[in-house]
Amino acid sequence: MRNHEIYIQSFVDAFDDQTAVINHDGVIQYTNGAWDAFHLENVEILTTAAFIGDHYLDTLISKGNLEASEGIKRVIDKNVEEYVLTYPCRSLSSESWFQLIVRRCLLNEFQEGLILVNRNIKIEDVPDTVMVDFIKSFTDAVFTVDAARKNLELEMKQLVYLDELTNLPNSRSMDRIIEKSIYHREDCALFCIDLDGFKKINDLYGREMGDKLLKEVGRKLQRAVAGFGIVGRIGDDEFLVFAKEKRTSELEEFASSLLRVFSNPFIIEGIYSFSISASVGISQFPQEALDKNHLMNAANTAMHEAKRIPGNQYKFYEVKMTTELTRRLNIEQALTGDLRQNGLYFVFQPQIDGLTNEMIGLEVLSRWQHPTIGKISPLEFIEIAEETGNISILTNYLMEEVFSKVSSWIKTMGFSKKVSFNVTSHLLSQETFFKDLFDLLDQFNIPYHQIELEITEETQLEVSEFTLDTIKACRERGIQIAIDDFGIGYSMLKSLTHFPIDKIKIDKYFINRLGKDSQTESVIKTIVYLAKSLGCIVVAEGVESAGDVKALSDLGCQFFQGYYFNWPLKVEEFERLYIYD
């Protein structure tokens, strides 16, 4: 039995009433225990006894139940949303009244079927118009179409419980599984799994490739949880595992086994290889919460705590984590408000020519001193802005503020230096970002050649045709391109041959190791040689001493950025030292 068939069967089994599912041809596909038990018990007198594989409509017709057959056909033909019959029936052991309720449902992504629920009801619930005439068999039963009863007390359970992409249980399905376990007071644990950096893969490779990766992740997770729990997909890049309670040591081992799924690259279509990590948050019932919502929140909170540590990590929920999640939510909320009023501002750090000691350009850096939250690290709020889709709002605000200031320098002081912005991979994939950039430059009358976009080396430009084409368009307009943090991310050598780069910035990791080993100096010398061969300027980041300057100069580096020359400066101080001096 395939995975989606297993899940449908599990949902049918969850019904207390006699339940069956038929396809559009009327053939029974699934039944639950209550249906089978009743029909087996009364097979000798039930003229419509039917099991999996039987043609239910043919059975009804052959026994003269034309009204029931026609009613079900009307649901199949979508003439009515539901069909309800109330009828009496005498079995071998008792006399009962039943209500048959028929509705459409999904059997899989492409095929609809019908769900049939036989509900045992009290005789006093039967309308007076029904002829109360118990006879020997189902054939002799008196059927009454209860078409007026649309507001049924019974909430029909639907079979739309599978995620259409991965064929795993979706959020509705997982909710029911958790709620049922809690209702029966059964100890359980939740594992909230979030893929790290998946949004960047979607942005750079496209959603179709991202979907293929999600399907492969789902397949491997399903294999990993076999015999231990149930895995479902509850969000774009978020999975949830439900497990019956185990000892803490067993939960830890299981969490480690989940993370081992991400220890090797995912191979898509036998060609594409993706290395992706995951963060797992674990909550337990009843230790952390007494209801489904709080239990889910606890697992989600623990997952966000795990995400703070790079690489594959898992965390058990702790009460103190709630405070940290509240901080994150407050930051998310602040990003959607008045950014200036909420304390977001920018600073400038100069880039210096080591030969002349003059500034050749400046880098714009964002800072945040929130009135109630306090100081927020750029690493923290930029990551949150990307994850929540607010990075465009943040970047547009900074560009507008900076361009307004630079425009005034150009008008009053003839300012002509480069102004450099860091651009995230998400922004590089957004057509609106480049449109906004061009519009703002035109609005403030800033020459395109004075703007430089810094792209971190981990952004794999060659994999996105749109990104590559757009950056080339920027270069044609005069906007220059710099590779930031060169030497520590993915190799950009292939990308450097695709289009011209104007500047390479050597990561401070190498600067910090100057004088500690000869290999570092060889790497820096090679980067400088490579850059000059390509006609690029080389800037060393994180320069903090005269010794750094001397060593880098000896290795052929001329341009520097770092605390030795100046810290990132607020606007007024920067203007005093570098604009109006």
- Mean pLDDT (the chain, rounded): 81
Burial class, 379, CB count within 10 angstroms (exposed 0-12 / middle 13-18 / buried 19+): exposed
Of the candidates 293, 281, 316, 282, which has an alpha carbon nearest to the alpha carbon of residue 182?
293
Q: With cut-offs at 50, 70 and 90, classify the pLDDT of residue 24.
A: confident
Q: Which residue has the tokens 């749109």?
A: 466
Residue range(s) of every CATH 3.30.450.20 domain in the chain:
3-145
Please tell me which residue, 307 or 490, carries the higher pLDDT value: 307
| H or E element in which residue 33 lies | helix 33-41
Q: What does the pLDDT read at residue 129?
A: 39
* Average pLDDT of the residues in 344-370: 95
Question: Radius of gyration over alpha carbons of the chain, in Å?
Answer: 33
Cα–Cα dist 332/216, whole Å = 31
Instruction: State the pLDDT at residue 548.
Output: 93
Average pLDDT over residues 37-52: 63
Sign of the alpha-carbon dihedral angle for 465, 471, 476, 481: negative
Task: Provide the token pair at 33.
Answer: 């225990």
- Please report which confidence band the pLDDT of residue 378 belongs to, taking 50, 70 and 90 as the band edges: very high
Identify which has the larger pLDDT, 378 or 106.
378
Relative to beta strand 374-376, strand 313-316 is unpaired
How many angstroms separate the CA atoms of 368 and 375, rounded? Answer: 6
Instruction: Return the ∠ at Cα 468 (arms to 465 and 473), rounded to 5°.
Output: 120
Residue 441 pLDDT class (50, 70, 90 cuts): very high
Q: What pLDDT shows up at residue 350? A: 96
pLDDT at 422 over 60: yes
Tens of pLDDT, residue by residue over 484-539, are 877 655 445 555 666 678 999 998 888 988 888 888 888 899 889 888 888 889 99
CATH 3.20.20.450 residue window(s) in the chain: 337-579
Burial of 58 (0-12, 13-18, 19+ CB in 10 A): middle
DSSP classification of residue 229: E
When the candidates are 3.40.190.10, 3.30.450.20, 3.40.50.2000, 1.20.140.10, the CATH number that belongs to 3-145 is 3.30.450.20
Q: Which two tokens stand for residue 108?
A: 């899989």
329-335 contacts at long range (C-beta below 8 A, 24 or more positions apart): 330/372, 330/373, 331/370, 331/373, 331/376, 331/380, 331/381, 331/384, 332/384, 332/388, 332/390, 334/370, 334/373, 335/381, 335/384, 335/385, 335/388, 335/390, 335/393, 335/394
pLDDT, residue 59, reads 82
The per-residue pLDDT for 479 is: 94
Peptide bond connecting 378 to the previous residue in cis, omega within 30 degrees of 0: no
CA 164, CA 90: separation in Å to the nearest integer?
42
Q: What is the mean pLDDT of residues 258-277?
A: 87
pLDDT at 152 over 90: no
Mean pLDDT, residues 222-246 taken together: 86
Instruction: Tokens for 493, please give them.
Output: 């050598």
pLDDT for 148: 31
Contact 482, 518 (CB under 8 A): no
What per-residue confidence (pLDDT) applies to 248? 78
Between 160 and 88, name the one with better pLDDT.
88
Homologous superfamily (CATH) of 171-319 is Reverse transcriptase/Diguanylate cyclase domain (3.30.70.270)
At residue 321, the pLDDT reads 75
Quote the CATH superfamily of domain 337-579: EAL domain (3.20.20.450)
- Mean pLDDT over residues 7-18, rounded? 74
In this predicted structure, the answer to whether residue 92 has a pLDDT above a threshold of 50 is: no
Question: By percentage, how much of the chain surpasses pLDDT 70?
Answer: 84
- Residue 149 has what pLDDT? 33
All CATH 3.30.70.270 domain ranges of the chain, comma separated, are: 171-319
Tell which wins on pLDDT, 14 or 179: 179
Residue 3 clears pLDDT 80, i.e. is over it: no
pLDDT band at 438 (very low <50, low <70, confident <90, very high): very high
Three state DSSP letters for 517-568:
CHHHHHHHHHHHHHHHHCCCEEEEECCCCHHHHHHHHHCCCCEEECCCCCCC
Q: Residue 1: is its pLDDT beyond 70? A: no
pLDDT at residue 542 tops 50: yes
Question: What is residue 151's predicted lDDT score, i.e. its pLDDT?
Answer: 36
Give me the pLDDT at residue 53, please: 82
pLDDT at 577 over 50: yes
What confidence score (pLDDT) does residue 478 get? 94
Q: What is the pLDDT of residue 217?
A: 92
Q: Of residues 564 and 52, which shows the higher confidence score?
A: 564
Q: Write the burial class of residue 12 (CB in 10 Å: 0-12 exposed, 13-18 middle, 19+ buried).
A: buried
**Is 532 within 8 Å of 567 (Cβ atoms)?**
no
pLDDT value of position 111: 75
Tens-place pLDDT, residues 94-136: 566 778 888 887 776 667 888 888 887 754 444 443 333 322 3
Please give the model's pTM, rounded to 2 decimal places.
0.55
**For the chain, what percent of residues have pLDDT higher than 90?**
29
Nearest to 484 by CA among 427, 544, 539, 545: 539
Check pLDDT > 60 for residue 461. no
